[in-house]
Amino acid sequence: MRRSRKVKILATIGPASSSVEMIRKLFEAGADVFRINMSHSDHALMRTLVERIRSVEQELGRPIGILADLQGPKLRVGKFADGKVALEVGQAFTLDDDPTPGDARRVHLPHPEILQSVAVGDRLLIDDGKLQLKAVRCDGRSIETTVVAGDRISDKKGVSLPDTELPVGALTEKDRADLDAVLATGVDWVALSFIQRPDDLAEARKIARGRALLMSKIEKPQAVTRLAEIIELSDALMVARGDLGVEMPLEMVPGIQKQITRAARRAGKPVVVATQMLESMITAPVPTRAEVSDVSIAVFEGADAIMLSAESAAGSYPVEAVAMMNRIAEQVERDPLYSSIINAQRSEPEATGADAISLAARQIAETLNLSAIVSYTASGTTGLRAARERPRVPIIALSPVVETARRLSLLWGTHCVVTPDASDLDDMVKRACTIAQAEGFGGEGDRVIITAGVPLRTPGSTNMLRIAYLGTDGRR
């Protein structure tokens, strides 16, 4: 099943889309990777969803990626005696370590790390920023604040801290248990929420031990500040615009999205743009014009994937949402300006053999108008470097490792095929030509360019280019 676009679609599975039939329909409509949100899934449900996705994968014969999204630390205020209170701008309000139910003057904050870290002048945003507080006095056990905006607060509302770096890791006890559970099922990607610093990746990587790739969700100002370091230690990035728009001024989010997308592309790391892309399709069969433009901007930027959240997980039109995103992406990539924008953002290759080969393969394929670039890749590195070049022609990633093919299904422009390892160079060329033709990338007499490492089965040794003809043994 060949896609007519290069950007990938990441669809969240939920109550509206968790059956085998719905997963199949979403894939057929255009979903390439499925997301399981561990904020709303227990371990039993997660295992069931993984089994259902794998059954669809086996039925359709295409590698399908699975992303498990960890919840991350959820910071919330305590409860009020009456469930909620009204506040006024300018009044004093305190958050403290007293578990007594709150009132209009104070409330319990059951997070000592916040009480000990917030400094005078720091902002505290409650309930996705609907209530904004500013710290005026801090003593380690309480934070006295002034109400800057908003007029109410109620039980268990979330707390965001855009100015404060907390001295705790990104993994909670729930996340550790969830991580062990998702790794045991063989998911391909794990998304880490509320990353603040490069060190936040260390524990998850130690637990994962290569069993899944790590995606850092950029949703805090502290992460934006240390973006280059986080990119270096991550396998992929997600522009998580929901929390990012709470913790930072909304008008800054579009520029940060471009900054993250371009930085990830330079590094050759996949980047996903997420949150509220087709939000109105949760309840409506068509999106707004602004949402269509929002999706198109992410595609024009060259993002590897664009994501649906509640639209596909809990909305009334999950299949329609995926199909709409698919149509938008296809149309953008047909636009006369698309190639010039993608080319203008292309980065210089790094001084490595893999990058040199990938650059040469793109230039040759585009100069000679070849049908595809065929990359043999066991670990996935060759596929990553080929996609970094953003070639006009499709990339066919051939791998004997099914886990690698599933992981690369998130990657821009990459059509993944699982195939037994070639026995020698001639077998490799024949296999590449046979698969390219069988998968619909050309007919007899068309040409492809093949990249691989020689000797075979040597990870990271990409050093060969070969132009071959389809419909023959590769020679003419």
DSSP per residue, 368-383: TT-SEEEEE-SSSHHH
Per-residue pLDDT band for 353 (boundaries 50, 70, 90) equals: confident
Q: What does the alpha-carbon distance between residue 119 and residue 164 come to, in Å, rounded to a whole number?
A: 8
Which is nearest to 70 in space by CA: 166, 171, 168?
A: 171
Q: For residue 127, is pLDDT > 60?
A: yes
Per-residue pLDDT band for 167 (boundaries 50, 70, 90) equals: confident
**Alpha-carbon torsion, ordered 79, 80, 86, 89, to 10 deg:** -60
Q: Do 299 and 262 touch, CB atoms closer than 8 A?
A: no
Q: Do 385 and 360 touch, CB atoms closer than 8 A?
A: no
Mean pLDDT of 142-161: 95
Give the pLDDT confidence score for residue 454 in this predicted structure: 74
Catalytic-labelled residue, pool 145, 164, 275, 381:
275
Q: Which residues lie below 8 Å from residue 372, measured CB to CB, with a gap of 6+? A: 365, 393, 394, 395, 396, 436, 441, 442, 448, 449
For the chain, the C-alpha Rg in angstroms (whole number) is: 24
Q: Do 442 and 403 touch, CB atoms closer than 8 A?
A: no
Is the pTM higher than 0.75? The answer reads: yes
Strand 305-308 versus strand 372-376 pairing type: unpaired
Computed over every residue of the chain, the mean pLDDT equals 94
Question: In the chain, what are the domains?
Answer: 8-72+169-339 (3.20.20.60), 84-160 (2.40.33.10), 353-469 (3.40.1380.20)
Q: What does the alpha-carbon distance between residue 288 and residue 324 come to, in Å, rounded to a whole number?
A: 11
pLDDT tens column, 213-235: 999 999 999 999 999 999 999 99
Per-residue pLDDT band for 411 (boundaries 50, 70, 90) equals: very high
Q: What does the alpha-carbon distance between residue 283 and residue 265 come to, in Å, rounded to a whole number?
A: 34
Per-residue pLDDT band for 423 (boundaries 50, 70, 90) equals: confident
Query: Residue 283, class by beta-carbon neighbours within 10 Å (0-12 exposed, 13-18 middle, 19+ buried)?
Result: exposed
Q: For residue 350, is pLDDT > 90?
A: no
Q: For residue 374, is pLDDT > 90?
A: yes
Residue 123 identity:
R
From the centroid of its chain, how far is CA 158?
23
pLDDT tens column, 253-279: 999 999 999 999 999 999 999 999 999
Query: What is 276-302 written as a DSSP string?
Result: STTGGGGTSSS--HHHHHHHHHHHHTT
Find the helix or strand (DSSP H, E) in which 397 lies. Answer: strand 395-399
Residue 211 identity:
R
Is the bond leading into 455 cis (omega within 30 degrees of zero)? yes
Q: Tally the residues of the chain.
A: 476
Give the pLDDT confidence score for residue 170 in this predicted structure: 79
Return the SS3 of 391: coil
**Alpha-carbon torsion, ordered 135, 140, 142, 144, to 10 deg:** -20
- Whether 35 is catalytic is yes
Q: Which residues lie below 8 Å from residue 244, measured CB to CB, with a gap of 6+? A: 218, 219, 220, 253, 256
Q: For residue 90, is pLDDT > 80?
A: yes
Per-residue pLDDT band for 352 (boundaries 50, 70, 90) equals: confident
**Percentage with pLDDT > 90 across the chain:** 88
How far is the first Cα of the chain from the last one, in angstroms, to the nearest whole number? 29
Residue 475 identity:
R
Give the pLDDT confidence score for residue 334 in this predicted structure: 97
Is the sign of the CA dihedral 48, 53, 58, 64 positive or negative? negative
- Whether 352 is catalytic is no
- Whether 217 is catalytic is yes
Catalytic-labelled residue, pool 35, 106, 241, 385:
35
- Whether 76 is catalytic is yes
Mean pLDDT of 46-75: 96
Give the pLDDT confidence score for residue 421 in this predicted structure: 86
Catalytic-labelled residue, pool 76, 176, 211, 392:
76
**Percentage with pLDDT > 70 across the chain:** 98
Q: What does the alpha-carbon distance between residue 434 and residue 452 come to, in Å, rounded to a whole number?
A: 16
Q: What does the alpha-carbon distance between residue 268 and residue 346 come to, in Å, rounded to a whole number?
A: 11
Give the pLDDT confidence score for residue 464 in this predicted structure: 86
Catalytic-labelled residue, pool 106, 217, 269, 406:
217
